[in-house]
């Protein structure tokens, strides 16, 4: 999942929360326009955000909500309870969608219908309260929604499909494929929305037949090429879910009908002939049919077909007969009907439920499921009056009955629940009775329920259950009996019906309660689902940074406390002489050390942020500034996913903005100048972040005019930053580095962008504050490269402990180049300064005691060697003489606060494992 989507999801949850809250507040103060405006804003933003992604279901609902809120805001629609309910419903739906996206990364098309229904319900509210107004849009809305509503009863036979198409559909249906007819009427304005309905239709898989019509009857001269009046009709054997997926952007413009009645497709067509040549054939065929000789009938039909002209109606009928003989052998009535039709040229298809295909469809699609269930229920009484259950089904019925008993036997403690409980039980039992055709029991059930409700007790229902429970249990035997009575021929037919209808009936019972509720109020409820899901789904946690800081401090202390263990082990051995204990402490220390390090690592991870956090503001900034300056700049961002500690990232923001501004203002030239210099008119500014071991490297590279060292030198001299001798001696690189000097500015005019002389100096100190370094490289005429190097995390600092004048100090390891022992006799004095030659290079030496203003000589070891710490400061190696080196430790560096905060020679202090305080030096400031 990409970062943008993640952010969208997390933000959307916040918005949904906000919308919910505002709606609640509005309940109390329905006239508060401020809430209203805010609510609109939330919905509006959420809609806009969702539009960035490919979630049409979500956007559709939000768009409708937005329109509704807009009407409310403008006072065209009054705020009402139903409106709030509908909006909350919509938001619950959106939240379900968000859960789904979070879980799977995408949105399945199962929500298309619900989304369209919700959007319609929302839009209906805009219209409802607005009926009196003369708004044209409303009228159109009403019209279009109405058109969809009263869709005419669909009948395949009216489509007049070509014979081949009908036959193929019939074949598909018979072999168990679903066959779907769809009608797609694109919006007349759709060409302006970038839609291509024809392209969309061409994407439909498994197309069997199509008809494309246009209702455009205007004279050619007046025809508008961009007024879409097309209607597409398609018959396909594709999966309904695929079609929903395909048309998910325009669900309101498509109508799907699933063709279930294969027999409807049988429609022979062709010329009518008057010759009575078929009489003999029909007679013969009927005889064969009566004898159940399908093979004979097939041969006879084929022969007859060869003799007739293919264009005749009768030939068509014969072709159908052949097809049916092949696919639906047992359907004698249908065969006979087709033969009969040869006399009359009109086919009356005997009404036979094609149960098999019904059931297949049922498994495939839920919406059809409901319809079929209702059909099945209506049909049941006429089809059969006794019920046959398999053992499994019987067990299920028993389970249902049993659980109803349990419910009824529950102690009656809360009257408020009793009524509902009784009704629910009665409803379930009613479903059972209907499914199993226990009509007598059914009649008494209502009475029992009424009694129970009147008495506020479950007794009457229990009595009823006792009376009839035997009926439910004895069904298995009945099955056997009925099966024996029926004739063999009927058995096959019956079994098919029973097999298919039992599961349907049972499902009907189970879902009875739900369906009935749905019938009463056709709204879709998401509340429960969304509540269930949100508990599990929300994976991101927003935490106050203070808490994380506190956690980090605690871990820091933990590290310190842990570091005390080796001291303890040491004491156990040396002071108390218990070597065993010492070893055990050390072993235990190893474990604690591992856990502590892992903890520290984890908390670091928590604090990590991608640099894109600051990078994302650059495109806009660069665009604005370059416009202002009349420059053309192409900004390239690289390595946005590089991560660093939050503090580092935040500390980086201002310096980076400064640098980018500088590059735009001083670095890149105007298009004319660039063209004259033979460069492309558009300047390139590259901002790149990368990770180098434990540091983040950020480079800002432009291909501008670069920095001219001579100009810098002169400016610096003018401003008194360097003296005359330096001016002559200074190298080009050093001159370029002068831009970091305090008070330096090359710009003659102070603009609102830069030129106040605080620029790069501020950048440097800001970067150094977080232990970073900044450098610059430039080639006149070619461009400038600025680079910042920052630690990944500033929480743990690795320091080297040194000793000087009987005190210990820490020096950050990242500044230490090496440690050497310089013999006394190799120290030379140049003027008043001590120096030595190290690998052929002169290194100035400074005594730490001098630096700290302690009037004590450094102590050398027995061999008259001085411990020298070579540190790198501002790109130069400097030796610091100390008394001795100690080990290196990881410490949590705490910056100095209060009065001590002014001591820039120290970067902070830390606690050591033995409880002593370690002062950490800041050699940069010291020297």
Query: Which residues bind to other proteins, rule: CB under 8 A?
Result: 186, 191, 195-199, 201-202, 209-214, 216, 220-221, 223, 225-226, 228-230
Q: Which is nearer to other proteins, 231 or 534 (CB)?
A: 231
Smallest gap, in angstroms, from Cβ of residue 662 to other proteins? 46
Which residues, including other chains, have CB under 8 Å from residue 905's CB and lie 6 or more apart? 851, 852, 921, 922, 925, 926
Which residues, including other chains, have CB under 8 Å from residue 212's CB and lie 6 or more apart? 201, 230, 231, 232, 233
The DSSP secondary-structure symbol of 693 reads T
Q: Which is nearer to other proteins, 122 or 190 (CB)?
A: 190
Residues 565 and 913 sit within 8 Å (Cβ to Cβ):
yes
Give the Cα separation of 334 and 351 in Å (integer).
Answer: 9
Q: Which is nearer to other proteins, 219 or 411 (CB)?
A: 219
Q: Which is nearer to other proteins, 234 or 552 (CB)?
A: 234
Q: Which is nearer to other proteins, 219 or 720 (CB)?
A: 219
Smallest gap, in angstroms, from Cβ of residue 191 to other proteins? 5
Residues 472 and 509 sit within 8 Å (Cβ to Cβ):
no
Smallest gap, in angstroms, from Cβ of residue 214 to other proteins? 5
Smallest gap, in angstroms, from Cβ of residue 158 to other proteins? 16
Smallest gap, in angstroms, from Cβ of residue 203 to other proteins? 11
Give the Cα separation of 144 and 154 in Å (integer).
Answer: 19
Q: Which is nearer to other proteins, 253 or 328 (CB)?
A: 253
Q: Which is nearer to other proteins, 217 or 725 (CB)?
A: 217
Burial 9-34 (b: 16+ CB within 10 A, else e): bbebbebbebbbebbeebeeeeeeee
Q: Which is nearer to other proteins, 131 or 220 (CB)?
A: 220
Smallest gap, in angstroms, from Cβ of residue 315 to other proteins? 22
Q: Which is nearer to other proteins, 101 or 254 (CB)?
A: 254
Residue 97: Cβ-neighbour burial (10 angstroms; 0-12, 13-18, 19+): buried
29-35 long-range contacts (CB < 8 A, ≥24 apart) are 30/79, 33/73
Give the Cα separation of 114 and 480 in Å (integer).
Answer: 45
One DSSP character per residue, 306-346 reads: HHS-TTBHHHHHHHHHHHHHHH-TT-HHHHHHHHHHHHHS-
Smallest gap, in angstroms, from Cβ of residue 309 to other proteins? 23
Give the Cα separation of 489 and 162 in Å (integer).
Answer: 36
Structure tokens at 157: 């036979």
Give the Cα separation of 249 and 834 in Å (integer).
Answer: 80
Structure tokens at 122: 């929302």
Q: Among 260, 204, 234, 242, which Cα is nearest to 112's?
A: 242
Q: Which is nearer to other proteins, 17 or 203 (CB)?
A: 203
The DSSP secondary-structure symbol of 894 reads B
319-326 long-range contacts (CB < 8 A, ≥24 apart) are 319/163, 319/167, 319/268, 320/163, 320/167, 320/266, 320/268, 322/298, 323/167, 323/170, 323/171, 324/266, 325/294, 325/297, 325/298, 325/301, 326/298
Smallest gap, in angstroms, from Cβ of residue 256 to other proteins? 19
Q: Which is nearer to other proteins, 210 or 444 (CB)?
A: 210
Smallest gap, in angstroms, from Cβ of residue 234 to other proteins? 9
Q: Among 810, 769, 813, 816, which Cα is nearest to 788's?
A: 769
Give the Cα separation of 766 and 760 in Å (integer).
Answer: 10
Pairing of strands 633-638, 683-692: parallel
Give the Cα separation of 923 and 905 in Å (integer).
Answer: 7
Q: Which is nearer to other proteins, 181 or 526 (CB)?
A: 181
Q: Which is nearer to other proteins, 220 or 351 (CB)?
A: 220
Q: Is 839 strand, coil or helix?
A: coil
Smallest gap, in angstroms, from Cβ of residue 216 to other proteins? 5
Smallest gap, in angstroms, from Cβ of residue 164 to other proteins? 13
Which residues, including other chains, have CB under 8 Å from residue 65's CB and lie 6 or more apart? 43, 47, 87, 90, 91, 122
């Amino acid at each position: 999942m990409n970062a943008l989507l993640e952010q969208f999801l997390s933000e959307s949850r916040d918005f949904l929360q906000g919308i919910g809250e505002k709606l609640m507040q509005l309940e109390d103060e329905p006239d508060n326009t401020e809430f209203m405006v805010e609510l609109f804003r939330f919905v509006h933003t959420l809609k806009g955000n969702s539009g960035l992604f490919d979630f049409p279901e979500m956007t559709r609902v939000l768009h409708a909500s937005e329109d509704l809120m807009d009407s409310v805001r403008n006072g065209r629609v009054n705020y009402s309870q139903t409106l709030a309910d509908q909006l909350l419903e919509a938001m619950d739906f959106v939240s379900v969608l968000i859960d789904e996206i979070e879980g799977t990364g995408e949105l399945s098309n199962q929500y298309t219908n619900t989304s369209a229904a919700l959007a319609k319900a929302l839009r209906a509210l805009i219209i409802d309260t607005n009926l009196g107004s003369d708004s044209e849009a409303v009228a159109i809305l009403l019209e279009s929604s109405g058109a969809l509503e009263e869709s005419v009863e669909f009948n395949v036979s009216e489509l007049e499909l070509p014979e081949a198409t009908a036959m193929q559909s019939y074949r598909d249906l018979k072999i168990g494929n679903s066959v779907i007819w769809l009608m797609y009427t694109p919006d007349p304005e759709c060409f302006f929305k970038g839609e291509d309905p024809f392209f969309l239709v061409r994407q439909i898989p498994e197309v069997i037949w199509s008809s494309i019509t246009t209702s455009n009857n205007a004279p050619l001269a007046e025809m508008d090429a961009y007024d879409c009046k097309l209607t597409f009709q398609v018959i396909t054997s594709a999966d309904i879910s695929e079609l929903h997926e395909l048309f998910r952007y325009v669900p309101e413009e498509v109508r799907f009908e699933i063709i279930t009645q294969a027999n409807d497709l049988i429609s022979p067509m062709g010329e009518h002939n008057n010759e009575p040549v078929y009489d003999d054939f029909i007679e013969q065929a009927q005889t064969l049919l009566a004898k159940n000789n399908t093979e004979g009938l097939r041969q006879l039909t084929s022969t007859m077909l060869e003799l007739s002209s293919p264009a005749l109606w009768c030939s068509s009928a014969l072709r159908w007969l052949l097809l049916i003989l092949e696919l639906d052998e047992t359907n004698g009535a249908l065969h006979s009907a087709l033969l009969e039709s040869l006399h009359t040229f009109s086919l009356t298809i005997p009404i036979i439920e094609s149960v098999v295909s019904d059931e297949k469809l049922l498994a495939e699609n839920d919406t059809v499921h409901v319809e079929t269930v209702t059909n099945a229920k209506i049909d049941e009484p006429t089809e059969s009056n006794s019920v046959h259950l398999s053992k499994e089904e019987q067990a299920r019925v028993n389970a249902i009955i049993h659980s109803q008993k349990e419910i009824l036997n529950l102690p009656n403690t809360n009257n408020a629940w009793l009524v509902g409980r009784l009704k629910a039980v009665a409803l379930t039992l009613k479903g059972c009775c209907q499914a199993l055709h226990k009509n007598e029991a059914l009649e008494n059930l209502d009475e029992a329920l009424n009694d129970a409700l009147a008495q506020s007790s479950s007794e009457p229902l229990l009595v009823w259950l006792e009376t009839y429970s035997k009926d439910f249990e004895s069904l298995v035997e009945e099955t056997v009996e009925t099966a024996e009575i029926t004739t063999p021929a009927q058995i096959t037919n019956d079994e098919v019906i029973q097999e298919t209808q039992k599961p349907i009936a049972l499902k009907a019972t189970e879902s009875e309660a739900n369906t009935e509720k749905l019938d009463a109020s056709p709204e879709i409820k998401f509340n429960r689902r969304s509540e269930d899901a949100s508990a599990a789904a929300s994976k991101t946690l927003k935490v106050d940074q203070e808490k994380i800081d506190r956690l980090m401090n605690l871990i820091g202390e933990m590290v310190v406390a842990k570091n005390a263990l080796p001291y303890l082990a040491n004491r156990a051995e040396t002071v108390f002489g218990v070597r065993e204990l010492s070893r055990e402490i050390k072993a235990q220390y190893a474990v604690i050390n591992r856990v502590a390090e892992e903890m520290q690592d984890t908390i670091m991870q928590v604090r990590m942020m991608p640099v894109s956090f600051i990078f994302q503001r650059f495109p806009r900034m660069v665009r604005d500034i370059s416009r202002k300056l009349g420059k053309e700049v192409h900004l390239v961002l690289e390595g946005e996913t590089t991560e660093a500690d939050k503090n580092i990232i935040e500390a980086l923001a201002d310096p980076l903005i400064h640098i980018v501004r500088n590059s735009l203002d001083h670095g890149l030239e105007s298009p004319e100048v660039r063209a004259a210099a033979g460069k492309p008119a558009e300047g390139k500014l590259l901002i790149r972040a990368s990770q180098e071991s434990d540091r983040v490297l950020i480079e800002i590279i432009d291909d501008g005019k670069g920095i001219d060292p001579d100009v810098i030198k002169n400016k610096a001299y003018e401003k008194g930053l360097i003296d005359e001798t330096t001016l002559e001696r200074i190298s080009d690189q050093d001159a370029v580095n002068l831009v970091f000097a305090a008070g330096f500015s090359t710009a003659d005019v102070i603009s609102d962008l830069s030129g106040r002389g605080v620029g790069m100096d501020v950048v440097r100190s800001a970067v150094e504050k977080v232990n970073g370094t900044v450098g610059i490289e430039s080639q006149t005429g070619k461009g400038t490269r600025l680079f910042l190097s920052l630690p990944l995390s500033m929480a743990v600092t690795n320091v080297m402990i040194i000793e000087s004048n009987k005190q210990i100090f820490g020096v950050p390891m990242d500044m230490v180049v090496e440690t050497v022992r310089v013999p006394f006799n190799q120290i030379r004095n140049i003027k008043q300064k001590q120096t030595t030659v190290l690998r052929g290079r002169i290194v100035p030496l400074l005594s730490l005691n001098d630096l700290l203003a302690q009037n004590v000589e450094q102590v050398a070891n027995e061999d008259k060697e001085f411990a020298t710490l070579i540190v790198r400061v501002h790109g130069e190696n400097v030796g610091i003489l100390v008394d001795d080196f100690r080990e290196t430790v990881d410490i949590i560096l705490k910056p100095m606060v209060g009065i001590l905060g002014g001591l820039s020679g120290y970067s902070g202090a830390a606690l050591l494992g033995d409880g002593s305080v370690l002062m950490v030096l800041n050699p940069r400031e010291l020297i």
